[in-house]
Amino acid sequence: MPAVESKKRPDKSGSSSSSASSPASRVPSSNFFYLRKPGSLRQPISFEDSPEWEDTDADVRVEEGGDSINAATAPVSPSLSKLNSGSLPSPPMPEGTAVTRKTAGASVVWKDLAVTIKGKRKYSDKVVKSSNGYALPGTMTVIMGPAKSGKSTLLRAIAGRLHPSAKMYGEVFINGAKTRLLYGSYGFVDRETTLIGSLTVREYLYYSALLQLPGFFCQKKSVVEEAIQAMSLGDYANKLIGGHCYMKGLARGERRRVSIARELVMRPRILFIDEPLYHLDSVSALLMMVTLKKLASTGCTLIFTIYQSSTEVFGLFDRICLLSNGNTLFFGETLACLQHFSNAGFPCPIMQSPSDHFLRAINTDFDRIIAMCKNWQEGPLLKSKGKASNATRIAVLTWRSLLIMSREWKYYWIRLILYMILTLCIGTVFSGLGHSLSSVVKRVAAIFVFVSFTSLLSIAGVPALLKEVKIYASEESNQHSGALVFLFGQLLSSIPFLFLISISSSLVFYFLIGLRDGFSLLMYFVLNFFMCLFVNEGLLLAVTSLWQNIFWSILTLVTIHVVMMLSAGYLRIRNELPRPMWKYPLSYIAFHTYSIQGLLENEYLGTNFAVGQVRTISGFQALHSAYDISQSSNSKWENLLVLFLMAIGYRILVFVLLHFHVRKNVSLHRIWQCRKSTT
């Protein structure tokens, strides 16, 4: 075997975490295969019997503390050339599927990469142990291994997507230089991606392009069409992702391709995909891999994980990195892997662990492989692509949310129907009250029931809000959105629907109950109820962002509303409530209190009621024994201002939860997946 001159060579003795560790310490009790030469099937090989690389002298220098790999020119190995001349059975590429646009890919090299995850005690055992590999433009590199072998962790480590609590050792080179991947230079597709079912494929990708890319809207349509063509989604472009009652949505295979197409609108040079065949049947898996192979042919560098594959799918891979319990058992050309196992005299399953002798041969020749890839390693540094401005993102999110809310019945249409039914019930129960002194207590009860029960019914919107939070988490992880952008987009898009609900419900209640005539009084009633819904929407969003779970969100909201109803001042006047808890602070943080108080002041301040034939009392005096209100003429506007400030306060709380808690939960979910892959 030709010598390889290097300033820094891998440790052949290695530790227990290295794939080059002692064979005696790594031999399993059963199912252990030795690699053998043809004609010597009964004799295990030694280190000198490892496959020979017949290339000329190569000089690989990894500078100590340097920022790049400098490799001398080396001809391609004849052995590899001989292997690459072979072929595996693979499906033919569909006619008419070639993508004319070429992508400038980038080479990726990871050397001695190890990952540990911080647990409750000290750092746990390494999830990934001294992994070496590379990926070239125009090729598909697959990280394969059994379940819980560290595939996703290795993929995230290469992409720079590990949580801060995870520690990474080793080096990652992009086009020969140690640098992190910048925004727009790569795309990352998680195993599970939340899509917006009420949008068509073309609409979903178009709004994603508007959120991600700078420039004019018209320039982004071509990018969307290229992504649709690249992922073979032309037949589904105008189909709703989630479908509706008269039309089925996309199948899992098409949904997975849509999630990949979302990243393609950035025209990334490197694309990372975690389990592209997740939950796909064999036919959908084959179609997915043929599509990815077509995408790689445009020049894009593809790196993805996979659990298992059929023979046809395996034939589409260019390089394979086999993992088992965090150890790299093999890295190299796919055909070379099969050739090496076939030389042993038997067809070895890919998921089976080979001998430590074979692993030493692979790790020893890693520097030589880097030298053979010299032309691909030296390239321009990747630059960050421009982002759409926050104002553009807010406008896009607002318009997209308006479109989604108008199509999804569970957002606001179902709430509008429920509010109308509830308002009709309350209005008919309290109809015909008249305007006498005896009707005051009954009107107070009607307004209390109206405000309290409509606020309680808004919990029906929790599933829709939870979906919005999940979409935000998915887009924020790829820097497509942000907490402030999402908050403003959701806020502006919800205002028209909340205003529609407040007007329709207020009109029905106002005239069925027979409240005081006057346009200004009616408009205040509508505005007060709108602010009540506005505050309640912020409360719903805050609790949903906190729990991110339907059951606990609904349980928490029901409890909060019941407590607020008890302290709102109707069941017992606020001045008579026990001070330590119910009056201070509960009655002051219950938005029901300010809404009901403002509506009653709007109705009764400035009115008089006859007591007998000679004496009259003011509306304040008539109401004083039933509800605690202020005599000031401006008090109803002060209550409206308090509601507005509470709405702002809840939005600030939502921003904090989105910025810290939701992001932390997403990271913890990734850590949980990493730990699950090693347990």
d(CA 43, CA 428): 93
- The answer to whether 162 touches 180, Cβ cutoff 8 Å, is no
> What pLDDT was estimated at residue 48?
30
pLDDT band at 39 (very low <50, low <70, confident <90, very high): very low
Residue 37 has pLDDT above 70, yes or no: no
User: Per the structure block, which two tokens stand in for 436?
Assistant: 């006498």
pLDDT band at 310 (very low <50, low <70, confident <90, very high): confident
pLDDT band at 119 (very low <50, low <70, confident <90, very high): low
pLDDT band at 630 (very low <50, low <70, confident <90, very high): confident
Beta strands 108-117 and 128-135, pairing class: antiparallel
pLDDT band at 383 (very low <50, low <70, confident <90, very high): confident
Tell me the mean pLDDT in the region 171-180: 89
Q: What is the pLDDT of residues 254-296, one digit of tens each?
A: 999 999 999 999 889 999 999 998 888 878 888 898 999 999 9
Tell me the mean pLDDT in the region 592-602: 94
> What pLDDT was estimated at residue 343?
65
pLDDT band at 536 (very low <50, low <70, confident <90, very high): very high
Q: What is the pLDDT of residues 478-504, one digit of tens each?
A: 888 889 999 999 999 999 999 999 999
Backbone angles phi, psi at 454, to 5 degrees: -65, -35
Instruction: Say what percent of the chain tops pLDDT 90.
Output: 39
User: Per the structure block, which two tokens stand in for 395?
Assistant: 């406008």
Q: What is the pLDDT of residues 52-109, one digit of tens each?
A: 333 333 333 333 333 333 332 233 333 333 333 333 333 444 444 444 467 678 899 9
Other Cβ atoms closer than 10 A to 279: 13
> What pLDDT was estimated at residue 635?
92
Peptide bond into 44 cis (omega under 30): no
Q: Lowest-confidence range among 47-56, 301-310, 359-368, 468-477?
A: 47-56
Provide the β-strand partners of residue 399: none
Residue 613 has pLDDT above 50, yes or no: yes
Residue 668 has pLDDT above 90, yes or no: no
Q: What is the pLDDT of residues 239-252, one digit of tens each?
A: 999 865 556 788 88
Give pairs for 367-370: CB < 8 Å, separation 24+.
Answer: 367/4, 367/6, 367/9, 367/10, 367/60, 367/62, 368/4, 368/53, 368/55, 368/58, 368/60, 368/74, 369/134, 369/332, 370/60, 370/69, 370/71, 370/109, 370/134
CA within 13 Å, CB half, 381? 9
d(CA 102, CA 299): 6
Q: What is the pLDDT of residues 545-554, one digit of tens each?
A: 999 899 999 9
> What pLDDT was estimated at residue 532?
96
pLDDT band at 308 (very low <50, low <70, confident <90, very high): confident
Distances in Å between the Cα of 365 and the Cα atoms of 15, 114, 178, 318, 567 are: 18, 19, 22, 18, 74
Beta strands 247-248 and 69-71, pairing class: unpaired
- The answer to whether 301 touches 108, Cβ cutoff 8 Å, is yes
> What pLDDT was estimated at residue 418?
93
> What pLDDT was estimated at residue 654?
94
> What pLDDT was estimated at residue 123?
52
d(CA 610, CA 437): 8
pLDDT band at 122 (very low <50, low <70, confident <90, very high): low
pLDDT band at 351 (very low <50, low <70, confident <90, very high): low
Homologous superfamily assigned to 108-332: P-loop containing nucleotide triphosphate hydrolases (3.40.50.300)
Q: Which residue has the higher pLDDT, 84 or 160?
A: 160
> What pLDDT was estimated at residue 679?
41
> What pLDDT was estimated at residue 482?
87
SS3 content of the chain, % helix, strand, coil (to 5): 50, 15, 35
d(CA 579, CA 588): 11
Q: Where along the chain do the CATH 3.40.50.300 domains lie?
A: 108-332
* Residue among 384, 159, 115 at smallest CA distance from 273: 159
> What pLDDT was estimated at residue 50?
31
